[in-house]
Amino acid sequence: MIIKQWVKSGSPWIWLNAAAVSTCLILVIGILGLVAVRGLGHYWPSDVAQIQYRDKEGVPQVITGELTDSNEISSQRAKDAGYLDADIGSGRTVEQYLIKVGNRDISGMDFRWILVNTISQMTYPEQLIVLERREWGNFYGTLVGVKEDGKSIAQGNEAWDVAQQRLAAALEVYEEIKQLEKKEIGAINYSLERLRLKQRKLELQKAWTDAAKQEMATEKAAYQVDYKRYQEQLKALYVKANKESLVVKTGEGIERDIPIGKIVKAYRPNGMNVFTKVGHYFSKLGEFLSEDPREANTEGGIFPAIFGTVLMVMLMAVIVTPFGVIAAVYLREYAKQGFTTQLIRIAVNNLAGVPSIVYGVFGLGFFVYILGGNIDQLLYPESAPAPVFGTPGLMWASLTLALLTLPVVIVATEEGLSRIPKSIREGSLALGATKLETLWLTVLPMASPAMMTGLILAVARAAGEVAPLMLVGVVKLAPTLPLDGNFPFLHLDRKFMHLGFHIYDVGFQSPNVEAARPLVYATSLLLVMVIVGLNLTAVTIRNHLREKYRALEG
């Protein structure tokens, strides 16, 4: 009876509707949580276990590695995978661990699933080391000794201290090498390329005279001398960096020499206390934010991607703000309100809903090939057939995204303008100000928070957009930043890296997705934080603004 009445009152529907809201909330928080946990957890130095287990033939094995995941599979699936009946047991499901064993150069794979039942012993010896390397991913095992020029200089217990000292020195050398390669030699290469273009230009203008030839030759020779000198320095540094090596042993007992120049970091997680772990964590986090990527983007930092994203978004903001504001001011303050403005508003609103990839297609066809192609023909005939602006690059990416976010700025600014009470404009006009003065001195300042909101929303949208960028200028690995010390400093024609594309590329195009996954989570977390932060700022400004004008109108 009660149930019947309950159903009749419509309560079940209300409960179901409430459930929809709850589900949405759970989903949002769940996703943010998932990204946060996986992204933040990656750099925590987890303990390295030494595991004794029986393989599928029942032979005892020893491996070392980090426990990264565990799950339950049905016994049938385990049986199909070839495990022994004795190890599977009688239950319907069996638990298995995912162990990151590293040592890709030796065993060929980074990860291994192991059935829990086959594990006979799992210990955490303090002397287990983790080596982060420049290639082949992490190494897990024990340190046997340190060698210099092939001769052992430290063994056993003291080896660890010696190794750490030598590693610190080697890292400094490596820093120097990088500095030389990127800065000095990079600058010379850039200058040589400019000289080549200059020569070509002179040739095209038929001004390639003997005097010019002479001048260029001396300039070139000077660079060549510098280049040789740096080359010598580099050689010496490389010899220095590779003098020492670490003798290490894997869990299975295989011994290897690893040149110290190939190592980025060495640590013993099992011997760390909470504070050293926190220190390690933050140093890794710093590295993530400030270093260049390594190993096909799957290791190291994402600095170029952060830099590229920020620079591109800033350029976009510089382009979109004036145009968006002018269009909004025209629509609200100057145009005669009527059918046409209504039509334009609908069109602008619609454009906010046009798929971003369409903007990408437009950017590629119109900006890159038509505008860029013509710019090349007019201004850079010397570099043909290599395109300068006639190829995807930073400028076109910014322009495309500016077009994409234009509706956001227009709509937000218009809303801000429409909220300004008429009395303020009339007051200003009545006091003798011209329309421009009214606009510039009273209306626009009052609407500035709205413009800010629009701009912030535009920036948030642009920072997260990937699809159009794939067509107009983003690359997986840019050798140089678009902003550097070589004239003209800001290189609008260069391709750049981008956080969103980095996620797509590392997560889906890299050869070792499993190993790269934590990095993708960390990158995602960074992007989410930036975008959520920007959006929250916009919302706060908007709310603040509404309060302000409510007071004015009252």
Partner 1 sequence: MNFRRSDSVSFLHNPAYYVRMSEITSNKTAKLDSAMQVSAASLHQRWRLLKDRLARYGIVIGGWGVIVAIVLIFFYLLYVVIPLFIPASAESLAEYQIPGHDKGKTVLLAMEEQNEVAVRFTDQANAVFFNAHTGQPILTEALKMPPDLKVSSFAPQSSGEGIVAYGLNNGSVLVAKHTYRITYPQDVRVITPVITYPLEEQPVVVDTEGGALQMLALQVGEGSTTLVAKTASNKLKLLNITKEKALFGEATLQRTESVLNLAAENIAFMLIDKEQRYLYVASADGNLSFYDISDKSAPVLKQLLNVLSPEQRINSIDFVNGGLSLLVADSTGLVSQWSVVRDAKNNPAMQKIRSFKVSDAALMKVSAEQRRKGFLTVDTQGVVGAYNTTAERELLKLPAAKVLPEAFALSPRANAFLLQSVNGNVNFWKVDNEHPEVSMRSLWGKVWYESYPKPDYIWQSSSSSNDFEPKYSLTPLVFGTLKAAFYAMLFAIPLSLMGAIYAAYFMAPSMRGVVKPTIELMGALPTVILGFLAGLWLAPFLEEHLLGVFVMLILLPVSVLGFGLGWQFLPKEVRSKVPDGMEAMLLIPVILGASWFAFAVSPSLEALFFQGDLRVWMKDSFGIDYDQRNSLVVGIAMGFAVVPSIFTIAEDAVFSVPKHLTVGSLALGATPWQTMIKVVLLTASPGIFSAIMIGLGRAIGETMIVLMATGNTPVMDLSVFQGMRTLAANVAVEMPESEVDSTHYRVLFLAALVLFMFTFVFNTLAELIRQHLREKYSSL
Q: At what angle do helices 499-509 and 303-329 cross, to 10 degrees?
A: 130
Q: Which of 245, 397, 500, 519: binder of partner 1 (CB under 8 A)?
A: 500
Q: Which of 43, 53, 83, 359: binder of partner 1 (CB under 8 A)?
A: 359
Query: In whole angstroms, how close is the CB of 305 to partner 1 at the nearest point?
Result: 12
Handedness of CA 390, 396, 397, 400 (dihedral sign): negative
Handedness of CA 481, 487, 490, 495 (dihedral sign): negative
330 lies in the site for partner 1, by CB under 8 A: yes
Q: Are 448 and 328 in contact (CB under 8 A)?
A: no
Q: Which of 199, 369, 480, 512: binder of partner 1 (CB under 8 A)?
A: 369
Query: Which range of residues in 56-64, 158-166, 300-308, 332-340 is near partner 1 by CB under 8 A?
Result: 332-340
434 lies in the site for partner 1, by CB under 8 A: yes
Q: What CA–CA distance (Å, rounded) separates 518 from 513? A: 9
Name 550's Cβ contacts closer than 8 Å, sequence gap at least 6: none
Q: What CA–CA distance (Å, rounded) separates 266 from 321? A: 48
Nearer to partner 1, 58 or 381 (CB): 381
Q: Which of 152, 205, 231, 349: binder of partner 1 (CB under 8 A)?
A: 349
Nearer to partner 1, 71 or 224 (CB): 71
497 lies in the site for partner 1, by CB under 8 A: no
537 lies in the site for partner 1, by CB under 8 A: no
Name 434's Cβ contacts closer than 8 Å, sequence gap at least 6: none
Query: Which range of residues in 48-56, 128-136, 137-145, 464-472 is near partner 1 by CB under 8 A?
Result: 464-472
Q: Which of 99, 447, 466, 545: binder of partner 1 (CB under 8 A)?
A: 466
Binding to partner 1 by CB under 8 A, coded x per residue (else -) over 78-107, reads --------------xx--------------
Q: What CA–CA distance (Å, rounded) separates 366 from 363? A: 5
Q: Is 72 helix (H, G, I), strand (E, B) or coil?
A: strand
* Token pair belonging to 7: 């159903």
113 lies in the site for partner 1, by CB under 8 A: no
236 lies in the site for partner 1, by CB under 8 A: no
* Token pair belonging to 293: 């990527």
Chain Cα centroid distance, residue 288? 10
Query: In whole angstroms, how close is the CB of 35 to partner 1 at the nearest point?
Result: 7
Q: Which of residues 18-77 bind partner 1 (CB under 8 A)?
A: 18-29, 31, 34-35, 71-72, 74-77
Q: What CA–CA distance (Å, rounded) separates 406 from 455? A: 9
Nearer to partner 1, 63 or 409 (CB): 409
